[in-house]
Amino acid sequence: MGRPWRDRGADAATQAYAATMTQAHGLPELLARVLAARGIRPKESDAYLNPRLRDLMPDPACLLDMEAAADRLAHAVRIGETVAVFGDYDVDGAASAALLAGYLRRFGLDVRIHIPDRITEGYGPNVGAVTALAEAGATLLVTVDCGTSGHAPLEAAAALGLDVIVLDHHGAPEILPRARAVVNPNRLDDLSGLGHLCAAGVVFLTLVAVNRRLRRDGAADVPDLTQDLDLVALATVADVVPLVGLNRAFVVQGLKVMRSRGRIGLAALFDAASLNEPPEAWHLGYLVGPRINAGGRIGDAGLGARLLTTDDAADAARIAAELDRLNRERQAIEAQAVAAAEAEMDHALGVDPDRPVLVTASADWHPGIVGLIAARLKERFGRPAFAFALRPDGTATGSGRSIVGADIGSAVRTAVAAGIALKGGGHAMAAGATLSGPDIERFRDHLAADLAAAVAESRSVASLLIDGTVSAGGATAEMVRLIHRAGPFGSGAPEPVFALPRHRIVDAGIVGNGHVRARLRSREGQTIGAIAFRAAQGPLGLAILAGIGREVHAAGTLSVDTWRGADRAQLRLCDLAPLD
């Protein structure tokens, strides 16, 4: 894949930390090496392996405006107010809306959830929806996973007599919208150090603060928020925020809640996805999250929030089946669009191989899949990418994905400030923008100028970091479970990568939706199954298929594959190298 392989823990300090964990703390050597290579120090190892919320939970009041938000929500509970919750159309938005609505409904409040349609309404609050919610009787509007840049709609809400609370985590402008409270750890004036939280994490901390306020006011019984950690875990993984500190505890504890299958909607979605084993973090990112997102991409954007709030098993099964169907439809649409985009970018890079940012657009693409196209281009070509759907009204709706070190969200915000984009924003790694169609070239030039240096720096040091070497015979299910004690893995907590030196590809073929499956044999005669996801048309997949019968060095991550009651290790391939 064009990257050098380097030892993640080669420096003397990391090796010393690993040795201390093994000798003084009794950790297995392999687990100690994995922890040390991720910056965990010996005295931190126990807390890292067993993260507890009680140790990592901050005082919610460290977030600006938190006390005002908690006071206003507690007041709504006391008077039985009608509350409108305005969310986003992705997993974080759906989970955040379900988390807040479920909490308020336990007190008997009438809660109206509104998730905007991606095409007709776009991202964030809009005047039409806010007006409809006020006319339906709401007197308090809470935006979750959006609202920080919603100046005009929130002004309209205030004019309609709505109090507004914003619970968000997106990058914030210098001037905030009119609201009773804007709770966002990424406000420019917020010093909480919690900018890594997703919106559901912000909502959870807000509900902790509301519980505290209600207890101070004499409430004898408040909801047990630990049972809602399944929603926070789902959103944290699906929104690809760093799995560090509090986020990691959210996911570890949330997965424990999720495994009890107490939330009817999630249990139905597990069944629809044929997930018959206890859910792990990667299941949330690759099986559960995409199905919830499918509603917002090409179907009814409100399906995810309804699924996560329903108490009716039949309703949950119906919604889960519809989301599963939409996800299959989305996959087919995506495959065609990605093929066209990759062909275009292959040509563009043939002309200009040093192009720092990729920008593509088409009138044939559904606005709901442009983020997926951008993600595939970023993965394939190793640089930031933006994809736009050209709309009949002359505008272009797009989404971008970036590489480590190149802040695409900041670049989009400067494009808005410069009048190049009509609106937009996002994170360092993902962003969205709406342009006037003719401005796509200006937008491409702006991103290239803004990000060129960061992209060049990031690509110059890009390498595949290896955590150790193993053979097909040594890669056992027990070994994989040992490694996974250091999990969950994800953004900010990379999954361990192992090299398998001198293994022969004895069989390979294309399976499923463009995946390449293979079997590798060591020189000692043991074999291991391997798979490279979405690789069939890329350089890795082509190398696997062309390498049948040849010896290679292989690299990838390890998982446990269960087949007919037997557990065995499986390699998820991320690179190959010839023996020479």
Burial of 92 (0-12, 13-18, 19+ CB in 10 A): buried
Question: If you average pLDDT over residues 551-576, what whole number do you get?
Answer: 92
Tell me what pLDDT residue 173 has. 87
**Rounded Cα gap, residues 72 and 433, in angstroms:** 33
How confident is the model over 282-314, as pLDDT tens digits? 999 999 999 999 999 999 999 999 999 999 999
Question: If you average pLDDT over residues 51-67, what whole number do you get?
Answer: 96
Instruction: Give the side-chain half-sphere CA count within 13 A for 214.
Output: 21
Tell me what pLDDT residue 580 has. 78
Question: If you average pLDDT over residues 222-239, what whole number do you get?
Answer: 97
| Cβ atoms of 547 and 508 closer than 8 Å | yes
Amino acid, res. 123: Y
> pLDDT at residue 25 above 80?
yes
Grade residue 460 by pLDDT with cuts at 50, 70 and 90: confident
Question: If you average pLDDT over residues 395-405, what whole number do you get?
Answer: 94
Count CB-CB contacts under 10 A for residue 41.
13
Using alpha carbons only, what angle is made at residue 277 by residues 275 and 278, rounded to the nearest 5 degrees?
110
Tell me what pLDDT residue 491 has. 85
Q: In the predicted model, what is the mean pLDDT of the chain?
A: 95
**Rounded Cα gap, residues 559 and 495, in angstroms:** 10
The helix-helix angle for 127-135 and 151-159 (nearest 10°) equals: 30
163-167 and 111-114 beta bridge pairing: unpaired
Tell me what pLDDT residue 561 has. 87
Question: If you average pLDDT over residues 28-38, what whole number do you get?
Answer: 94
Question: If you average pLDDT over residues 435-458, what whole number do you get?
Answer: 95
Residue whose pair of structure tokens reads 């909490």 in the numeric block: 103
Question: If you average pLDDT over residues 456-470, what whole number do you get?
Answer: 91
Tell me if residue 421 falls in helix, strand or coil: coil
**Rounded Cα gap, residues 114 and 138, in angstroms:** 12
Grade residue 519 by pLDDT with cuts at 50, 70 and 90: very high
> pLDDT at residue 425 above 90?
no
Percent of the chain with pLDDT over 90: 89
How confident is the model over 467-487, as pLDDT tens digits? 999 999 999 999 999 999 999
Nearest to 133 by CA among 155, 109, 113: 113
Grade residue 538 by pLDDT with cuts at 50, 70 and 90: confident
Question: If you average pLDDT over residues 394-408, what whole number do you get?
Answer: 94
> pLDDT at residue 348 above 80?
yes
Percent of the chain with pLDDT over 70: 100
List the strands of the sheet with 430-436, edge to edge. Answer: 358-362, 385-390, 395-401, 430-436, 423-426
**Rounded Cα gap, residues 99 and 25, in angstroms:** 39
Tokens at residue 200, please? 């559901």
Amino acid, res. 90: D
Grade residue 276 by pLDDT with cuts at 50, 70 and 90: confident
Tell me what pLDDT residue 428 has. 86
Which domains are assigned to the chain? 58-325 (3.90.1640.30), 354-461 (3.10.310.30), 465-578 (2.40.50.140)
| Cβ atoms of 529 and 535 closer than 8 Å | no
Tell me what pLDDT residue 220 has. 84
Question: If you average pLDDT over residues 83-103, what whole number do you get?
Answer: 97
Tell me what pLDDT residue 483 has. 94
> pLDDT at residue 277 above 80?
yes
Least confident of 120-134, 341-355, 363-377, 421-435: 421-435
Question: If you average pLDDT over residues 116-132, what whole number do you get?
Answer: 93
Tell me if residue 471 falls in helix, strand or coil: coil
Tokens at residue 285, please? 């990112």
How confident is the model over 242-263, as pLDDT tens digits? 999 999 999 999 999 999 999 9
395-401 and 385-390 beta bridge pairing: antiparallel
